[in-house]
Amino acid sequence: MSRRYEKIAFVASQSPEAAEARSRLAARYGDCEPASADVVVALGGDGLMLQTLRAQMRSGKPVYGMHRGTIGFLMNEFAENGLRERLAAAETTVIHPLVMRARDRMGGAHEHYAINEVSAFRQSYQAARLRLLIDGKERLPELVADGVMVATPAGSTAYNLSAQGPIIPIKAPLLALTPISPFRPRRWHGALLPDTARVTVEVIDPDKRPVAAVADHSEVRDVTQVEVAMDHSISMHMLFDPGHSLDERILREQFGY
């Protein structure tokens, strides 16, 4: 069922192209603060879309992206005409974020959310040594690699795909656990996990082989343990033009177009 979005909030990246588009659209359709809007329209690339989704994570407001940036996998095509009609006809994709809880070498606790992935990376020239547990049970006693990541379906076509991880349909209740440049075990290519799984990454010898944890763009350095799980209590609503939904785009990626 179509819905009428009367109050629109426009947000834009810092690029001149996005800023100009925001100015024109605001003059044509009106503009209001996100807190009082019915819908948020993001103008930029995927980075801005992730930033906007994080900002609206607990508001329940839908976000409709239009491509005015570099990478636009999460965005709709840009057009000035017929925006209200496009919003009314848009299809909704609901996604849930990952929550990362990390502990550093000083005993500090850190919590950050991610829409695409949570990664643990080596901080120095030496490979990281990591112990992997799923729901508290050891599954891999030692992974020697540049790192490891946990990716959502929405993030499975981003860094996860570049690391040779699997593409996950957007509605599949799965997470991808993907190694980054693994050295040992050489034949381990990762795992598909239920999206109810709790992944714990323990750093072996963190003094000699320091590791950083990253939730999308939020970084914690010198970690000793990272716990990752999907937070199903938070639902984010992304709007896509009919025929160009996120699940359709992810399906197309599997066939190379």
DSSP letter for 76, please: B
222 neighbors 183 (Cβ within 8 angstroms)? no
Looking at 30-118, list the stretches that DSSP marks H as alpha helix, in order from N- to C-terminal side: 46-55, 83-89
Pairing of strands 63-67, 91-95: unpaired
Burial (0-12, 13-18, 19+ Cβ within 10 Å), 208: exposed
Q: Which residue from 149, 171, 176 is spatially nearest to 247, judged by alpha carbons?
A: 171
The whole-angstrom distance between residue 40's C-alpha and the CA centroid of its chain comes to: 18
Structure tokens at 225: 């343990």
Q: Around Cβ 14, how many Cβ atoms within 10 Å?
A: 9
Structure tokens at 90: 């848009």
Tell me the torsion sign for CA atoms 134, 146, 112, 37. negative
> Which residue has 């540049």 as its token pair?
146
The reply to whether 195 belongs to the active site is no
Annotated active-site residue in 31, 38, 46, 195: 46
The whole-angstrom distance between residue 44's C-alpha and the CA centroid of its chain comes to: 16
The catalytic residue positions are 46
